[in-house]
Amino acid sequence: MSYNIYGGFFLKYYGERRSGCRAANNMNILFLLKPKHEVAYLVNDCTVRQALEKMRASGYTAVPVIDKEGKYVGSVAEGDFLWLVLNCGEGALKSTEHMPLRSVKTRVVNKAVSISAKLEDLLLLTMNQNFVPVVDDRNIFIGIITRKDVLQYFYDKTKDDKEKKDADDIISQGA
């Protein structure tokens, strides 16, 4: 797991890292944040062709979309582009060179969370989203948290809790 400035800030003020996650029950989501500069995202004034090229280069099947001010406006997925091509018919790929990304109808809504959300709040969202966009109090996109990282946190937390219980059982049997 990579560390970032948000995670470092969080650790400095809120505690130690233990077994891939902070052991406290009320963990802040910043610890798992992949900051904006580390993830692929699109600006909604780019063309469909530019968006397709960026997605192909990144290897992601869905990416966040922001406006010129950096505010999160939604996400776009491969399937959205497929439907666009199918609906436009012959010559659709050529027309994407000048077609604005805003003209792509998105079928899936990736809900964003506030920077102050709790990790437990993300669990329900990640059941239906591969990633959860994170925004600040002005709705400025600051990064994402992936489903994998949320699941890893809860796995590690469960594992830590079980190891702690096992250790307590051993101590109580020896007393």
Domain range annotation of the chain: 5-165
Closest CA to 149 of 37, 8, 63, 35: 35
| Residue labelled with tokens 């809790």 | 161
What CATH number matches the domain at 5-165, 3.40.630.10, 2.120.10.30, 3.30.70.1060, 3.10.580.10?
A: 3.10.580.10
Question: Half-sphere exposure (CA, 13 Å, Cβ side) for 105?
Answer: 7
Question: Half-sphere exposure (CA, 13 Å, Cβ side) for 76?
Answer: 28
Closest CA to 41 of 57, 60, 65: 65
Whole-angstrom distance, CA of residue 7 vs CA of residue 14? 10
Instruction: With H, G, I as helix, E, B as strand and everything else as coil, classify residue 117.
Output: coil
Q: Are strands 141-146 and 131-135 parallel, antiparallel or unpaired?
A: antiparallel
Whole-angstrom distance, CA of residue 161 vs CA of residue 140? 36
pLDDT value of position 175: 56
Whole-angstrom distance, CA of residue 10 vs CA of residue 7? 5
Tell me the pTM.
Answer: 0.73
pLDDT value of position 8: 43
pLDDT digits (tens, 9 = 90+) for 23-32: 444 568 899 9
pLDDT digits (tens, 9 = 90+) for 48-104: 999 999 999 999 999 999 999 999 999 999 999 888 888 777 666 677 788 889 888
> What average pLDDT does the chain have?
80
